[in-house]
């Protein structure tokens, strides 16, 4: 079955780290560069994330995401470099186009912020199963219903897509045109989406009943098939990360 999750199954210590520690790492990688506004710190944060991604052997999987992000960032660089109101110092000129230093520096700050956030999230998304993440959050006290909603999306959406293609085939077999001009496609839209939506509603009702009889709303203390994933050094790592955030805060307040 096609999965819409980006998780990549590899063997690495990054994969072994529990999801909560990864969440704390995300907080660290986002907060510290904001609290301490220096380029060096931002570079270090991006660097750490990239090294971790490399250790997790998923660096290649990040390429499509980063290239999409860069596409957006290039426009930021161009617009800020050319038109930021505070622009004074001319950096270089290309014909009628003038690039200014202030704008470029500002664009660099934004770029680094985005990169720290994207790379930190990528560690979580690429090396953690969605179900594992949700399960550890449920253990920490998140409502199982919300957890179910999040996890089931990853399976129910591909199932609905499969239903769409089945219905498309069925309607085609009855002679409906589904290809051709925009108008033809538009006309085919309703007879395709009607059954999909109605079917999904009926399925949801039946699934809700099936969940009920399997004790989904039971008040009993839940147990888990798998033992909670713990990484030998996760306490140490968490402590260090939290300490780094606190340290950054203290530095900011004092200076």
Partner 1 sequence: MNKIVVEGLKYKYPLSETLALDNISFSVKEGEFIGIIGRNSAGKSTLCQAIVGLVPHFYKGAYGGKVLVDGLEVKTHSIADISLKAGMVFQNPFTQVTGSKMTVYEEIAFGLENIGVPRTEMINRIDEVLHLFKIEHVKDHNPFDLSGGQMQRMAIASIIAMKPEIILLDEPTSQLDPGGSEEVFQAVQSLKNQGITILMAEHKMEKVAQYCDKVLLLESGKVVDYDTPEVVFSRNDLDVFGVTAPVYTKVCQALGVKKKGADTYPVTLKEAEAALKEMRR
Residues that bind partner 1 (CB under 8 A): 1, 129, 131, 147-148, 151-152, 155-156, 158-159, 203, 206-225, 227
Q: How far is the CB of 19 from partner 1 (least distance, A)?
A: 15
Nearer to partner 1, 33 or 130 (CB): 130
Contacts 24+ apart (CB under 8 A), 25-30: 25/120, 25/123, 25/124, 25/237, 25/241, 26/120, 26/121, 26/123, 26/124, 27/241, 27/245, 28/120, 28/241, 28/242, 28/244, 28/245, 29/116, 29/117, 29/119, 29/120, 30/116, 30/117, 30/120
Q: How far is the CB of 109 from partner 1 (least distance, A)?
A: 40
Q: Which two tokens stand for residue 206?
A: 């039946």
Nearer to partner 1, 191 or 199 (CB): 199
Q: Which two tokens stand for residue 10?
A: 């590899």
Containing 98, the helix (H) or strand (E) segment is strand 97-100
Nearer to partner 1, 47 or 215 (CB): 215
Nearer to partner 1, 139 or 185 (CB): 139
Nearer to partner 1, 52 or 151 (CB): 151
Q: Which two tokens stand for residue 80?
A: 């800020």
Q: How far is the CB of 121 from partner 1 (least distance, A)?
A: 21
3-class state of residue 97 by DSSP: strand
Residue 153: count of CB within 10 angstroms of its CB: 13
Nearer to partner 1, 86 or 212 (CB): 212
Cα 153 to Cα 55, 97, 120, distances in angstroms: 29, 48, 23
Tokens 């538009």 belong to residue: 186
């Amino acid at each position: 079955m096609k999965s819409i999750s980006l998780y990549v199954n590899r063997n690495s210590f990054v994969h072994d780290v529990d999801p909560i520690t990864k969440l704390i790492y995300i907080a660290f990688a986002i907060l510290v560069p904001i609290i301490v506004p220096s380029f060096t710190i931002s570079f270090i944060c991006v660097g750490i994330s990239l090294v971790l991604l490399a250790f997790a052997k998923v660096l290649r999987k990040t390429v499509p995401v980063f290239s999409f992000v860069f596409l957006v960032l290039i426009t930021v660089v161009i617009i800020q470099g050319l038109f930021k109101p505070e622009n004074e110092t001319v950096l270089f000129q290309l014909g009628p186009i003038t690039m200014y230093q202030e704008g470029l520096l500002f664009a660099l700050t934004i770029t680094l912020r985005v990169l720290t956030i994207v790379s930190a999230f990528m560690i979580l998304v690429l090396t953690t199963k969605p179900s594992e993440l949700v399960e550890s959050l449920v253990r920490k006290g998140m409502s199982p219903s919300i957890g179910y909603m999040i996890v089931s999306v990853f399976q129910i959406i591909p199932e609905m897509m499969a239903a769409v293609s089945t219905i498309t085939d069925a309607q085609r077999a009855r002679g409906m045109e589904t290809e051709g001009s925009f108008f033809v496609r538009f006309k085919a839209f309703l007879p395709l989406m009607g059954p999909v939506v109605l079917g999904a509603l009926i399925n949801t009702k039946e699934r809700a009943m099936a969940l009920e009889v399997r004790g989904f709303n039971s008040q009993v203390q839940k147990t888990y098939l798998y033992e909670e994933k713990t990484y030998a050094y996760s306490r140490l790592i968490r402590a260090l990360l939290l300490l780094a955030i606190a340290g950054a805060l203290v530095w900011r307040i004092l200076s």
